Structure 1
Amino acid sequence: MPALSQAFPASELWTLPGGLRLAFERRSGPGFAFDLRLPVGSAHDPVGQEGSSGVLEEWLFKGAAGRDARALQDAFDDLGVRRGGGVGPEATRLGVSGLLDDLGASLRLVADVLLRPDLPENELPVLTDLARQDLDSFQDSPTDLLALEARRVTFPRPAGSPLAGFAHPPSGTLEGLEALTADTLRAHLEAYGQAGAVLGLVADLEPEAALGLVSDALGSLRPGRQPGAEATFQAGQRVHVPDPDAEQTHLSLTAPGISPGDPRWLAWQVALTALSGGSASRLFHAVREERGLAYAVSASPVLLGGQGFLTAYAGSTPARAPETLEVMLAELARLPQGLSADEFRRARSGLRASVVFGAESMRARAGALTRDVAVFGQVRPLAGLRASLDALTLEGVNDFLTDYDPVSSMTIVTLGPSNV
């Protein structure tokens, strides 16, 4: 078996003069993958112009550097690359993967999209109409509606903030889409630049060659801005959203967690994996296997505004929803009692496996490089991350859990035909 230093190659991290951070990892093979994160998402839409980031991301690909939308798509297709990305609450991402010989051309195409977009105004009515259709689809998805309402209750927009915040999807709102114009979207584009941007790149190149390709393609990107949307947690809220036609009652629970820079971060990850990390996890066993209360039940960490939060979800029949909530709260309240040795062993092993297998794909690794720099401020070497997991002990995790009480400040939002 190869040594960890050989199995997990070293990474490089540079900051371009304009502020763009490049995280690079060399990996042998014929391909490449890069993931560009621009720190502007739907939470940064201007108030009254909700949908700006989502519509703008679509508009950027309607032509660039003299190519119309079809020619731009053909240019990507001619390279044979896979393109992905999208708009989230706090960032817009552009990902490309393909053969190594096409890396430079792919970077230049992305640079054309960001630096030299055509932004044809005749496309805007089509894009805003598509966004409205996406909003219509939310009405048919109780889980999406619940997630939006939970964000609105749990992380309301601070009074006086010019940013729309977390209580709308990337598609925006009907009122916000109506207010969008070519001029407002062009003004919003000025935020998309090097400030706070991160590019994760995996390819078989000398580090200096990788830096040169990225600098040549993206070094002239506008300065941009790094807006910050506040995620001010509202503790102890209890809200029910009536939906008389729903066949299920959906439950959303949110509580403070651990921030990425906190030394207890990995201990928290182990605890959440024991809580909801497979068929042996506490929530799955107590809610589904023992009592048959819900088909779907889960808990996971969420990062907003640089902070960590625990979120949990379940969907149950209206008659059994109160019991489902009771059991979920009981399992969360049991966390300060600590994990058993078997729970700790399974949870840590699961995280260790995810570290190794998550690095197998170039695309996944490029995304992980970007996330590490954006969230932790540095690349977490895989060998070091695995060593940190190995160094965790049952006693250490349980010491952390002694003081971790998510239930006391939990905010609960439910959606269904009757209150829970």
Structure 2
Amino acid sequence: MILEELNLQEDDPGDVAATLLEEALFPGHALGREVLGTRETVEALDRRSIAAFHDRWYRAPNLVLAAAGAVDHGRLVERVAAAFADRGGGEAPVRTPPDRLPTEGRTLRRPTEAVHVAWGWRSLDRHDPRRRALALGTHVLGGGLSSRLFQAVREDRGLAYSVFAGPHLYGDAGALTVHAATDPDRAGELRRVVETEVAEVAADGITADELEIARRGFEGARLLGLEDSGSRMTRLGNGQSLYGRVEPLEEFVERLRAIRLDEVNAVLAEVLAPDATVAVVGPGA
């Protein structure tokens, strides 16, 4: 099954471009390696090694179980405790931050109908107090139908069906990426337009109106998410596993509303000022 997933991923030039970008952003580091592994590493696995891995890491102190909905909390705790009664101990994985600078980028020639381009910058880790300011700024840059990139790339020029930007926050590092695909004859124009928009945001920042629209969108999305049990469960699990606590809704809103325009523009300038690492997949790449 994993080998089939690898095959499917290899058939998607957008996924290939994303993988090449990660390899270039985090050279020689686990963050730069494909999560699924490679055909060689997957085929080398046997039952004994998988069972040993499971026995070492899948223990009660390393796990977070989240539930939302019509749940009897006390009964759930009792059943989980019984199920993991003999699964104590455990150890935290030792993480090593990336220690090498990004490379210039990667290209891969393929006879695809479109050229897929991915830009990336090293960014903040998930514990950085400026992470929400960066998220708001990134949303204005390429996070929706009214974003700078969507308007410049799709609405104004018809260069791509979709273009999007997003932050990726890890425990000891981070990245901000932009992805788009276009006709091979217009690949150069796409790169110029995206890189011009990014440079303008890095140099001049976003406006107060753009920040307010993004802020309201973030707040509304969190509130709407509370209407869905699955979203509530995900929020509980992510908060506990990534930050060791579940942030109360009131605290989230208060912190979001406290973010200033100068804070957003400062972190955008810091992250986007360096030259991007670029991965390209397609004909003539």
Does 2:225 correspond to 1:358? Answer: yes
The separation in 2 between residues aligned to 1:165 and 1:263, in whole angstroms, is 22
Q: Structure 1 residues 230 and 287 mapped into 2: Cα distance closer, same or farther (>3 Å)?
A: farther
SS at match of 2:164: strand
**Partner AA of 1:187 in structure 2:** A
2:47 equivalent to 1:182:
yes
CA distance in structure 2 between the aligned counterparts of 1:331 and 1:394, rounded to whole angstroms: 18
Displacement of 1:249 in angstroms is 0.8
Structure with greater helix percent: 2
**1:315 equivalent in alignment to 2:192:** no
Q: Which residue of 1 aligns with 2:244?
A: 377
Could you say what the CA RMSD is over the residues aligned between the two structures, in angstroms?
2.4
Richer in strand (by share): 1
Q: TM-score, normalised by structure 1?
A: 0.62
How many residue pairs get matched? 282
Q: Does 1:271 align with 2:142?
A: no
Q: Distance in 2 between matches of 1:312 and 1:228?
A: 30
CA apart distance, 1:206 = 7.1
> Is 1:330 matched with 2:196?
yes
**Seq. identity, %:** 30
User: Residues 126 and 170 of structure 2 are in contact (CA less than 8 Å); yes or no, is this contact kept in structure 1?
Assistant: no
Query: Which fold has the larger relative contact order, with Cα–Cα distance below 8 Å and residues 6 or more apart in sequence?
Result: 2
Q: Which residue identity does 1:238 align to in structure 2?
A: G
User: Tell me, what secondary structure is at the counterpart of 1:319?
Assistant: helix
Shift of 1:375: 2.3
Counting only pairs closer than 5 Å after superposition, residues 29-44 of structure 1 correspond to structure 2 as none
- Which amino acid is 1:132 matched to? L
Shift of residue 399, structure 1, vs aligned partner? 4.5
Q: Partner of 2:108: helix, strand, or coil?
A: strand
Residue pair 1:253, 1:410 contacting (<8 A) in 2 also: yes
1:387 counterpart = 2:254: yes
Structure 2 CA distance for aligned equivalents of residues 346 and 249 of structure 1: 32
For 2:153 and 2:97, locate their aligned partners in 1 and report how far apart those are by CA, in whole Å.
30
- TM-score, with normalisation over the residues of structure 2? 0.88
Measure how far apart 1:382 and its partner are.
Answer: 1.2
Q: Is the 8 A contact 2:27 2:103 kept in 1?
A: no
Determine the structure 2 residue equivalent to 1:291. 157
Q: Does 1:397 align with 2:264?
A: yes
| Distance in 2 (alpha carbons) for counterparts of 1:141 and 1:400 | 33
Alignment of 1:149-160 (within 5 A): 149-158=20-29
Mapped pair 1:136 → 2:2: no
Q: What SS does the aligned partner of 2:274 have?
A: helix
Report deviation, 1:169. 4.1
Give unmatched runs, 5+ long, in structure 2.
Answer: none
Secondary structure of the structure 1 residue equivalent to 2:174:
strand
- Amino acid in structure 2 at the alignment position of 1:288: R
For 1:225-282, what per-residue CA distance to the aligned partner results, in whole angstroms no more than 9, with x for missing partners?
Answer: 4324546263352221111x11111111111222222221211111011112221111
* SS of the residue 2:240 aligns to: helix
Amino acid at match of 2:18: A
What's 1:215 paired with?
A: 81
User: How far apart, CA to CA, are the structure 2 residues paired with 1:260 and 1:254?
Assistant: 17
Instruction: Name structure 1 gaps, 5 residues minimum.
Output: 1-129, 159-163
Amino acid in the other structure paired with 1:265? R
> By how many angstroms is 1:397 displaced?
2.7
Any conservation in 2 of the 1:242–1:416 contact (CA below 8 Å)? yes
Counterpart residue type for residue 289 of structure 1: E
- Tell whether the 8 Å contact from 2:126 to 2:171 is kept in structure 1 after alignment: no
Residues 329 and 205 of structure 1, relative CA distance in 2, 3 Å threshold: same
3-state DSSP of counterpart to 1:313: strand
C-alpha distance in 2 between matches for 1:218 and 1:311:
39
1:178-237 C-alpha deviation (Å, 9 max, x unpaired): 322221112111222234322223245676555444323334324334324546263352
